[in-house]
Amino acid sequence: MTFGRLVWRDLLRNPLRLGLTVLAGAVGVMAFIFLRTVVDLFYIGAEQAQADRLLARSKVSITEELPLAYLSRIAAVPGVDDLTYYGFFGGRYGESQRDFFGSAYVDPASFMRVFDEMVVPPQEVAAFQADPCGALIGKDLAARYGWKPGSRVTLKGTIYPGDWTFTVRGIYDVSKGGMDTNTLLFGYRCLNEKLPDERKDRVGAFMLRIEDPSRSAAVATAIDGMFANSPYPTRTESERAFTLGFISMMSAIITAVKVVSSVILLIILLVIGNTLAMNVRERTRDLSTLRAMGFKSGRVVMLVLFESLAIGLASAGLGVLISPPLVNAFLGVVGSQLGGLPDNVIRQSTLVLGALAALGVSMLAGAIPAVRAVRIPVAEGLRKVA
């Protein structure tokens, strides 16, 4: 009997236990891939940020507004190629969390220049820019509610109290990057004209496009220095740095997810290790017989480790196979309730990491039973009854 057939025969000693072990390992791999994908979701925006864009916001707080009068002064800073402004509106379409989506006020003309990844038909761009209370919505948001140009949308303000009604003038898509297509954008003029005097002419942040990305630090320093002693100091940083700073506020959640994914590996270790320990205990006489026939200890250890490797391969293969459809389906359901998530977010590297983790853990799980199998004296092992 060849070594491979011997491994195969020992694996099939208890098919039900083998199948349940492989299934448990596959579920663990899927859970590991799912949690790592959740972590990846946090960093998608930072990875897709454009190097030639800077964001100038309040140094005091991300929620603090800046005077609109800063626009012309920032535009005059050497190295600034284009400039726009925007702010989070925070309107609610309904009371359910399912009805939540992002909403923001923008300067229609300059916003579309700076965010040139937006794709909108020219006639819809013209209609959006001509209507003070016109709205531009992402394609996913339009599909979600069946909205089209001409539809009227009323949002209940949270940051800006009252009911605000906008007319959809266009639907945008994106050609690159990670810009959200579940957002409603409307002209700042519609909001500003209805605000009390103490809240007029204030915006959330300025977004700059710079001529030379290598000079981004110098441009940021010049802008912040210009307003350092003003009542509203600024903090200017790259789009990527801003996104990472926002993510850092949720570092506790991200760390918790990473810890849980590591715990799942420990669970896989225990499941596979327990199965192999039972297999070795039941086969003590068989393994001792092999040693009595001349099998070296290293050969016996390899026999147990190959069984562990086979279980790990089966678990990894099944887990990687079922993960993409199940995880994408789950995120699709959750995304529809949270304003949408990107499609096909599982990375190839995450699948490979999940498979390698399962293989590594399975080999580690088989190490202890393998060593125990050769530590039992041959004579004692031959008398052993499982």
Instruction: Look at residue 288 in the predicted model and tell me its pLDDT.
Output: 63
Per DSSP, the chain holds a count of helices (H) and strands (E) of 14, 12
**What is the C-alpha separation between 71 and 112, in angstroms, rounded?**
16
Q: How far apart are CA 163 and CA 157, in angstroms?
A: 6
pTM reported for the whole predicted model? 0.69
The more confidently predicted of residues 260 and 341 is 260
Asked if residue 167 has pLDDT above 60, the reply is yes
Tell me the pLDDT band of 104, cut-offs 50, 70 and 90.
very high
pLDDT band at 129 (very low <50, low <70, confident <90, very high): very high
* Mean per-residue pLDDT of the chain: 82
Residue 340 has pLDDT above 60, yes or no: no
**Interatomic CA distance for residues 98 and 255, integer angstroms:** 27
pLDDT in the model for residue 259:
86
Between 107-111, 181-185, 219-223, 238-242, the lowest mean confidence (pLDDT) is in 238-242
Q: What is the identity of the amino acid at 49?
A: A
Buried b (16+ CB within 10 A) or exposed e, 201-240: ebbbbbbbbbeeeeebeebbebbbebbeeeeebbbbbbbb
Q: Which residue matches tokens 């393994």? A: 287
Angle between helices 297-338 and 251-282 (to 10 degrees): 150
Torsion of CA 256, 258, 263, 266, to 10 degrees: -160
**pLDDT > 90: percent of the chain:** 32
Confidence (pLDDT) at 67? 95
With CA atoms as reference, report the closest residue to 105 among 118, 86, 133, 132: 86
Its sign, for the CA torsion 206, 246, 328, 142, is negative
